[in-house]
Amino acid sequence: MLLKKILLCILIGAIAQFCPAQNPDSLLLKHYRPQSIYKIPVTAIDKAKFPVIDMHAHSWYSKEVKDIKEWLRLMDKFGIEKVVLLTESTGAQFDSIYNVYAPYLNRFELWCGFDYTGYQEPGWGEKAVKELERCVKAGARGVGELGDKGLGEVFSNPVPGYGMHVDDKRLQPLYEKCGELKIPVSIHVAEPMWMYEPMDSTNDGLMNAYSWKMDPSKPGFRGHGEMIKALENVVKANPRTTFVACHLANCEYDLTLLGNLLSKYDNLYADVAARFGEIAPIPRFASAFFEKYQDKLVYGTDYHPGNFMYETTFRILQTNDEHFYATDLFEYHWPLQGFNLSDAALKKIYKGNALKILKK
């Protein structure tokens, strides 16, 4: 009898640990998991409506061949023809990743990074350009994800470039070389605006924003608007180089900012990777934006491959479904809505625009 009581106590404790109390008086926002009660149409997604090229993924699996084969199985299942792997790497690290995926180059395309090793020393630019050329000869077909969140460092491997932003003049020879080599650059600037807002009850994206909040006290910090300007500086200064702004240039809160840049610069595109959760709550505005700029947007994920991830991203873009949740995937508590994009827009965003970029 005593043993049963002990086991019961252990069971109750385990349940309490994995199922936080839902009493509103003690509920934590991170435990909020609403479930829709609306009796409305639900579209089952088992495959993308048209063939897809994923322009923003990472080398999640760089050691286990069985994991890569499982990814290929998912790609076949959902109609994904090719995935661009943004390795953010140079040197031996890029080579090792490339070698793992070399048997599957008909399905994966690998991009390298910039090598910031010794970037504060004289002659660094020439060395970095030579390493870029070496990576291209080794198989790199682009550069990415070149990143600058505004914190005073551009990230890449093996070392980040502390004290630089993406429009630093020291990077100009590298951008020019990309244009010369006719390879595109995937570039990440800023973070979603929620990450810059006060971390209090007025922030409607607080659940996710708090984990990724920006620290303006860091040396060299630039705010959201300054980072969008930095992106424009780079794109404008390098008209021969094609750029893909990652994550809709993190302009989800005001897509007109990105729209203005896409209209102004022929050499700029944008991917939607990892920002489905930010735009799905505004389906009419976002849908109109995607239709208007259907020639400049590309599909991307930036999430670990999985059934629910692919189903949800395709559901947002191609269905008219309403009020559904993907809290564990996007980390926001708000409901999502479908865009119901036209077939013409879907074909371009899923594959057509990616082909234009890759063929350049």
Q: What is the pTM of this model?
A: 0.91
Q: Is residue 320 part of a domain?
A: yes
**What pLDDT is stored for residue 59 in this prediction?**
87
pLDDT at 28 exceeding the cut of 90:
no
pLDDT at 16 exceeding the cut of 80:
no
Q: Is residue 39 part of a domain?
A: no
- 272 close to 297: Cβ distance less than 8 angstroms: yes
pLDDT per residue as tens digits for the range 178-187: 999 999 999 9
Nearest CA-CA partner of 60 in 87, 93, 81: 87
Distances (CA, A) of 277 to 224, 282, 324, 329: 19, 10, 11, 8
Higher pLDDT, 230 or 7: 230
Q: By three-state DSSP, how is residue 183 classified?
A: coil
Q: Is residue 23 part of a domain?
A: no
Q: What is the largest CA-CA distance in the chain?
A: 79
89 — pLDDT class (breaks 50, 70, 90):
very high
Distances (CA, A) of 279 to 252, 275, 297: 6, 7, 14
Distance CA 20, CA 339 (A): 33
pLDDT at 2 exceeding the cut of 50:
no
pLDDT at 360 exceeding the cut of 70:
no
Distance CA 327, CA 29 (A): 12
Report CA 46 to chain centroid distance, whole Å. Answer: 22
Distances (CA, A) of 214 to 194, 199, 218: 9, 10, 9
**What pLDDT is stored for residue 61 in this prediction?**
74
Q: Is residue 20 part of a domain?
A: no
DSSP per-residue codes, 135-162: HHHHT--SEEEEEE-SSSEEB-BS--EE
Nearest CA-CA partner of 111 in 52, 51, 58: 58
Q: Is residue 151 part of a domain?
A: yes
> In which residue are the tokens 């579209």 written?
43
CATH of the domain at 351: 3.20.20.140
pLDDT per residue as tens digits for the range 100-158: 999 999 999 999 999 999 999 999 999 999 999 999 999 999 999 998 999 888 888 88
Stretch among 144-153, 179-188, 296-305, 308-317 having the lowest mean pLDDT: 144-153
Higher pLDDT, 359 or 65: 359
How is residue 116 annotated by DSSP? -
Q: What is the mean pLDDT of residues 257-266?
A: 98
pLDDT at 274 exceeding the cut of 80:
yes
pLDDT at 11 exceeding the cut of 50:
no
Q: Is residue 27 part of a domain?
A: no
pLDDT at 277 exceeding the cut of 50:
yes
**What pLDDT is stored for residue 24 in this prediction?**
77
**What pLDDT is stored for residue 187 in this prediction?**
97
**What pLDDT is stored for residue 22 in this prediction?**
62
Q: Is residue 275 part of a domain?
A: yes
What average pLDDT does the structure give for the chain?
A: 91
Total domains in the fold of the chain = 1
Distance CA 77, CA 307 (A): 9
13 — pLDDT class (breaks 50, 70, 90):
very low
Cβ neighbours of residue 54 closer than 8 Å, sequence gap 6 or more: 80, 82, 83, 84, 299, 300, 301
Q: Which domain holds residue 113?
A: 52-359
Q: Is residue 36 part of a domain?
A: no
